Chain A
Amino acid sequence: MPMTMTQKILAAHAGLPSVQPGQLIEASLDMVLGNDITSPVAINEFERCGARGVFDREKIALVLDHFAPNKDIKAAQQCKQTRLFADKYDIKNFFDVGRMGIEHALLPEQGLVGPGDAVVGADSHTCTYGALGAFSTGVGSTDMAAAMITGKLWFKIPSAIKVELINKPTGFVCGKDVVLHLIGEIGVDGALYQSLEFTGPGAAALSMDDRFTIANMAIEAGAKNGIFPVDEKTLEYCRDRFQREPRVFEADADAEYTRTVTIDLSALRPTVSMPHLPENTKTIEEVSDVKIDQSVIGSCTNGRISDMRIAAQILKSRKVAKNVRCIVIPATQEVYLQCVREGLAEIFIEAGAVFSTPTCGPCLGGYMGILAEGERAVSTTNRNFVGRMGHVESEVILASPAVAAASAVTGYLTDPAKL
């Protein structure tokens, strides 16, 4: 039976010659991830069931990124619990403040995940690593606990939606616009229980950072995972990083898809998601004169170096508008250092922006940029649910780094080409 890319990876990790949609399998895992919010719940389960050890100390990654550097005493307790666990079981890939980054930017950068892997993480945006041609998906803390003990987890083989990308994006259009447009087309449950398989010449034309952004938001369409074919760009990214041998899986030419969505990248415009669902998309032309109080540039979706560069290009020799707070957060220590070395940090600070150490902070309304009642942020993050960034009466508009930076300058949602 012909298989999609996701199906092939899962079959290989279950030791089966082939699988079909709906089939329940048990897959061996190459990496199990948790953060400072989800790990404590997993550790409690791990200890409650009397586990004596982890399946492989090198195949677990624990990253203190959500409420770290510790935002309050309770967060400090949760980080401490995770740190003590990492010490006790000698977890190799433990990332504390000063070494950490936002998990989904950090793991690919550190070469801990790569092509052909099966990865789970107790964080919904674990689907990011599909950009590398891996099967990766978000799970909860109990799944994480079981996976840390056994190195395995059950999955239902997903059917797939084929997303055919054609042509190349123009102007300031980037991966964020592609994925917001897609979610607007198919809805927040448009890919529920399914995989989103990106393909076509447009996929090949996208940079790795754009692919990470797109795979990252597959969950916002309800997908189990999003995945890109492995090509030269993928292998180039993995060279000198990925610590194992890449395994390249390709979808069969006659693989079955429940539907095909074709997106002409050359026809896309800068796109935003209005409150309070990622599917409420508008092109930038449709939303002028929307006033903003804050602009957040960062997160696991858009905190990579190319995101920082485009934001800096726009903010260079300009100033953040009066009464707007612009908060720039590179996703990892490496990106942070690169921003310093390339002079981007100076541009952000001279423009009147905050330039912060890596953290998930504002994205989920943790800290470092909470909104007051009635306030509105444009943000390069991934969710604009009610109360996501603060007060229940505040609003979040999702956008690309270019739109977020341009909007910071004018104080209104702005097409970067019109600055």
Chain B
Amino acid sequence: MNATGTVHKYGDDVNTDVIIPARYLNTASHQELAVHCMEDIDKDYVKNVKPGDVVVAGKNFGCGSSREHAPIALKASGASCVIAKTFARIFYRNSINIGFPILECQEAAEEIAAGNKVQVDFDTGVITDETTGKTYQAQPYPEFLQNIIKSGGLMESIKG
């Protein structure tokens, strides 16, 4: 599985309160959540994001609240994945569980600039910055998590 898109770049410690502010958590509708995605740190994100786009950020992405509404909002906004130096653990679990790819890659997170065109191969973890021509290798998932991802998320994996 592949995705290609434009990079939206953020810094360290992007928390789930800015990914989707709590004032919008009175709904579980994916589309309603997507409309407010990243609103408190980037008002233009929702205006600019196109299907397949890639969010790139620093360390500890998704820290704070356990709200699954955060990866849901990102996914429903059209983003294909998040590349970061590190992820907060609940956000990491939530993303895997809902089948939203996230990739840990220190170098890519540092070097890839906002607006660049990036291609991500989710099977191999290879990230290609098409603007600069440079490629990166993300941390592979443990086999156990690969199985959840291949099943299409946690709920599908427990059915089997």
Whether, in the assembled complex, A41 has its beta carbon less than 8 Å from a beta carbon of chain B, the answer is: yes
A224 pairs with B89, CB closer than 8 A: yes
Q: Which of B18, B67, B97 contacts A386 (CB 8 A)?
A: B18
Chain B residue contacts of A88, Cβ below 8 A: none
Q: How far is the CB of B27 from chain A (nearest CB, A)?
A: 5
Whether, in the assembled complex, A37 has its beta carbon less than 8 Å from a beta carbon of chain B, the answer is: yes
A193 pairs with B89, CB closer than 8 A: yes
Bound: A72/B153 CA distance, A: 32
**Which residues of chain B in 75-99 are interfacial with respect to chain A, using CB atoms and an 8 Å cutoff?**
86, 88-90, 93-94, 97-98
Chain A residue contacts of B89, Cβ below 8 A: 192-193, 222, 224
Q: Which of B17, B22, B144 contacts A24 (CB 8 A)?
A: B144
Determine, out of A42-50, A227-235, A298-306, the stretch whose residues face the partner at the interface: A42-50
Q: In chain A, what residue has the closest Cβ to B144?
A: A24
How would residues 119 to 160 of chain B score, 1 for a CB under 8 Å from any chain A CB and 0 otherwise? 000000000000000000000001010000000011110110
B64 pairs with A383, CB closer than 8 A: yes
Bound: A388/B18 CA distance, A: 8
Q: How far is the CB of B38 from chain A (nearest CB, A)?
A: 11
Query: For this complex, into which size category does the number of interface residues on chain B fall?
Result: 35 or more
A222 pairs with B63, CB closer than 8 A: yes
Q: In chain B, what residue has the closest Cβ to A223?
A: B89
Bound: A150/B41 CA distance, A: 38
Q: Which of B21, B25, B60, B142 contacts A188 (CB 8 A)?
A: B60
How would residues 357 to 368 of chain A score, 1 for a CB under 8 Å from any chain B CB and 0 otherwise? 000000011100
Q: In chain A, what residue has the closest Cβ to B157?
A: A146
Chain A residue contacts of B154, Cβ below 8 A: 142-143, 146
Q: In chain A, what residue has the closest Cβ to B87?
A: A192
Q: In chain A, what residue has the closest Cβ to B27?
A: A74
Q: How far is the CB of B138 from chain A (nearest CB, A)?
A: 17
Whether, in the assembled complex, A173 has its beta carbon less than 8 Å from a beta carbon of chain B, the answer is: no
How would residues 361 to 385 of chain A score, 1 for a CB under 8 Å from any chain B CB and 0 otherwise? 0001110000000000000000101
Bound: A143/B154 CA distance, A: 8
**When A140-B93, A142-B97, A192-B86 are in contact, do A38 and B158 touch as well, CB less than 8 Å?**
no
A38 pairs with B63, CB closer than 8 A: no
Bound: A189/B59 CA distance, A: 8
7 more contacts with CB within 8 A, not counting A49-B159, A224-B89, are: A41-B68, A75-B26, A124-B90, A140-B94, A189-B86, A364-B65, A366-B22
